[in-house]
């Protein structure tokens, strides 16, 4: 599909949401270029040279609702349609878009961190990027935000649940959350405990559902509905149709669904010939009054959420397996699983079975090698716990935890 002529892909490596990267992205879009936005610390991401699609457009690595990691291409039209749709949704709730201020706390290599650029351009409002360092200093963050708001009528942001949890744990963090007129929360289902605390503090959350493939949210709960106790991810947005198929999986029909990049010479529609894209998520649709709301039930694969990012155990398994073979580490087999974590939602646990007759010294050396190797991984993929399983004794395991 697309034109037969190859167009060069311009790679922009980002650390988070730094201003210089935003400027580079805007510049390349204005030049009708195709840009691949990747995290500079993620060494295992392949950089493409060219693609048979016309610019302007963006490529992001997706770990969303697709059932597997992949690369997703969006024409600029998709991003603009997403911004227009969310803008109309806000107008219906009484927001004056040009009098709004967007604060972006998320990285640019994620659709939720990229969309504030296009929302601010489409809505003709200001957008300020909040660095990871500032969001941790809640007193400074609060004072900076109050000063920045000036005469703006509405304050809008997006958070992942891990950020929300950290902010709720501090008095100034709670004060900061309370000054917003709307906080979109995506990337994971927030816990009941977190939701109850936000309702008690009257924090205007808007839980939503979407993915890289859909150019951000396709459903969103209104803050007033959240505060009333609605327990779903919101009403289906007007440019989107959602249905549940016979397997119980969420299917989406929207003009802003992107294109999958198979390799540098081949692209493929996520949508089938009838315009529907099957996600990897289970859900159900409930009618409340005259509107339809989506309830997210869970993933159909064994991937899980960690700090707003999706972890694919198969990817971790393959990476570890290659390293074990290369370094000749005396491991017989290992298993990737998840452990609950209040802040992150889930973290990775690796259960390792060493070969027979491997002594304690070699076990310690091997674990240190694995630890050093995994320190280069993204935070959400770093194992929280290493468990050594001894199949010859009833005392099944010894715990080895990484030093944080």
- Cα distances from 170 to residues 135, 161, 173, 175, in angstroms, run 12, 15, 5, 9
Closest CA to 382 of 329, 333, 322, 309: 309
Computed over every residue of the chain, the mean pLDDT equals 88
Judged against a pLDDT cut of 50, whether residue 397 lies above it is answered with: no
Q: What is the pLDDT of residue 400?
A: 37
- Cα distances from 354 to residues 224, 234, 333, 360, 367, in angstroms, run 54, 48, 7, 10, 11
Q: Model confidence over 200-218: pLDDT tens digits?
A: 999 999 999 999 999 999 9
Q: What is the pLDDT of residue 391?
A: 56
Q: What is the pLDDT of residue 264?
A: 59
Surface-to-core class of residue 258, CB atoms within 10 Å of its CB (0-12 exposed, 13-18 middle, 19+ buried):
buried
In the chain, where are the structural domains located? 7-299, 304-401
Q: Model confidence over 126-175: pLDDT tens digits?
A: 999 999 999 999 999 999 999 999 889 999 999 998 899 999 999 999 99
Judged against a pLDDT cut of 90, whether residue 309 lies above it is answered with: no
Question: Which contacts qualify for 324-329: CB closer than 8 Å, 24 or more apart?
Answer: 327/369, 329/366, 329/369, 329/370
**Backbone phi and psi for residue 343, each to the nearest 5 degrees, phi listed first:** -80, -45
Both tokens of 363, joined, read 């076990």
Judged against a pLDDT cut of 90, whether residue 46 lies above it is answered with: no
- The pLDDT > 90 percentage for the chain reads 58
- Cα distances from 402 to residues 7, 226, 370, in angstroms, run 44, 38, 10
Cβ-contact 207, 217 below 8 angstroms: no
Domain 304-401 in CATH: superfamily?
Answer: ANL, C-terminal domain (3.30.300.30)
CA 77 to mean position of chain CA atoms = 21
CATH class of residue range 7-299: alpha beta
Surface-to-core class of residue 404, CB atoms within 10 Å of its CB (0-12 exposed, 13-18 middle, 19+ buried):
exposed
User: Who has greater pLDDT, 60 or 67?
Assistant: 60
**Backbone phi and psi for residue 402, each to the nearest 5 degrees, phi listed first:** -70, 145
Judged against a pLDDT cut of 80, whether residue 116 lies above it is answered with: yes
Q: Model confidence over 214-228: pLDDT tens digits?
A: 999 999 999 999 999
- The span from the first CA to the last CA of the chain, in angstroms, equals 47
| Arithmetic mean of pLDDT, 112-120 | 96
Q: Dmax of the chain from CA atoms? A: 71
| Arithmetic mean of pLDDT, 335-363 | 87
């Amino acid at each position: 599909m697309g034109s037969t002529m190859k167009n060069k892909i311009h790679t922009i490596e980002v650390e988070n949401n730094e201003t210089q990267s935003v400027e580079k992205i805007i510049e390349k879009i204005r030049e009708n270029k195709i840009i691949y936005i990747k995290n500079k610390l993620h060494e295992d991401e392949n950089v493409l040279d060219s693609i048979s699609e016309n610019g302007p457009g963006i490529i992001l690595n997706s770990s969303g609702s697709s059932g597997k990691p992949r690369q997703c291409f969006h024409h600029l039209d998709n991003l603009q349609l997403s911004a227009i749709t969310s803008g109309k949704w806000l107008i219906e709730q009484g927001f004056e878009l040009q009098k709004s201020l967007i604060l972006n706390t998320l990285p640019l290599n994620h659709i939720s961190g990229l969309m504030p650029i296009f929302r601010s351009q489409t809505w003709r409002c200001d957008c300020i990027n909040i660095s990871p360092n500032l969001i941790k200093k809640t007193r400074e963050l609060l004072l900076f935000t109050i000063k920045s708001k000036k005469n703006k009528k509405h304050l809008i942001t997006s958070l992942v649940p891990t950020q929300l949890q950290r902010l709720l744990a501090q008095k100034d963090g709670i004060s900061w959350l309370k000054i917003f007129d709307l906080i979109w929360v995506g990337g994971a289902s927030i816990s009941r405990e977190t939701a109850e605390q936000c309702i008690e503090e009257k924090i205007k959350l808007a839980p939503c559902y979407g993915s890289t493939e859909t150019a951000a949210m396709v459903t969103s709960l209104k803050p007033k509905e959240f505060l009333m106790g609605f327990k779903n991810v919101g009403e289906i947005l007007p440019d989107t149709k959602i249905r549940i198929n016979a397997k119980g999986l969420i299917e989406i029909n929207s003009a802003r669904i992107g294109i999958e990049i198979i390799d540098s010479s081949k692209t493929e529609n996520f949508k089938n010939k009838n315009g529907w894209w099957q996600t990897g998520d289970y859900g159900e649709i409930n009618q409340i009054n005259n509107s339809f709301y989506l309830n997210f039930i869970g993933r159909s694969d064994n991937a899980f959420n960690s700090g707003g990012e999706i972890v694919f155990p198969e990817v971790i398994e393959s990476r570890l397996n290659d390293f074990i073979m290369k370094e000749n580490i005396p491991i017989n087999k290992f298993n990737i699983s998840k452990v609950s974590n209040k802040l992150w939602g889930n973290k990775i646990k690796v259960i390792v079975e060493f070969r027979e007759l491997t002594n304690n010294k070699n076990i310690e050396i091997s674990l240190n090698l694995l630890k050093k190797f995994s320190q280069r991984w993204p935070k959400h993929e770093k194992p929280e716990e290493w468990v050594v399983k001894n199949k010859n004794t009833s005392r099944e395991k010894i715990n080895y935890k990484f030093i944080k």
